[in-house]
A and B are shown apart, each in its own frame.
Chain A
Amino acid sequence: MQTEIINISWLNVTITTLLIIATGLCSLYLKLKLEQDLLIGTIRTFLQLLLLGYVLNAVFSLRNPFIVFLLFSFMIFFAARIISGRVREKRIPYFAPVLASMFLSYMIINIFVMTVIIQVKPWYQPVYFIPIGGMIIGNSMNAIAISINTWFDGLRKEYDRIELFLALGASPSESTRENFKGAVKSGMIPSINALMSVGIVSIPGMMTGQMLAGIDPLIAIKYQIVIMLLLVGSTALSSIFALHIVRKISFTANYQLKI
Chain B
Amino acid sequence: MSSSLLRIQNISFSYPDGKPVFERIDLNIRKGTLSIISGESGAGKSTFLKLFNRFHDLTDGKIFFHERELRDYQISEIRRSILYLPQLPHMIEGSVEDNLFFPFTFQSQKDKKYSPVNAREWLDYFQLGVSLSHEASKLSVGQRQRIALIRALLLEPEVLLLDEPCSSLDSRNRRLIEEKIESLVESRGVTAIMATHGDVNFSESVCAFFRLEDRHLKALQRHEKQGA
Contact = CB atoms under 8 A, between A and B. Distances in A.
Interface of A: 160-161, 163-171, 174, 253-256
A166 B109 contact: no
Given A164-B86, A165-B106, A169-B80, 8 more contacts: A160-B90, A163-B55, A166-B79, A167-B85, A167-B86, A169-B76, A174-B105, A255-B79
B88 A168 contact: no
A163 B79 contact: no
Contacts of A166: 55, 79
B107 interface: yes
Contact of A171 (B76, B86, B151): B76
Contacts of A255: 54, 75, 79
Given A160-B88, A255-B75, A169 B55 contact: no
B84 interface: yes
A167 B54 contact: no
6 contacts: A166-B55, A168-B103, A169-B76, A170-B108, A174-B106, A255-B79
B186 interface: no
B208 interface: no
A168 B86 contact: no
B54 A256 contact: yes
B145 to A, nearest CB: 13
A171 B151 CA distance: 18
Contacts of B92: 161
Contact of B79 (A160, A168, A253): A168
Contact of B106 (A161, A169, A254, A256): A169
Contacts of B85: 167
A161 B79 contact: no
B83 interface: yes
Contacts of B107: 171, 174
Interface in B88-123: 88, 90, 92, 103, 105-109
Contacts of A253: 75
B53 interface: yes
A253 B75 CA distance: 9
A256 B86 CA distance: 15
Contacts of B55: 163, 166-167, 256
B194 to A, nearest CB: 15
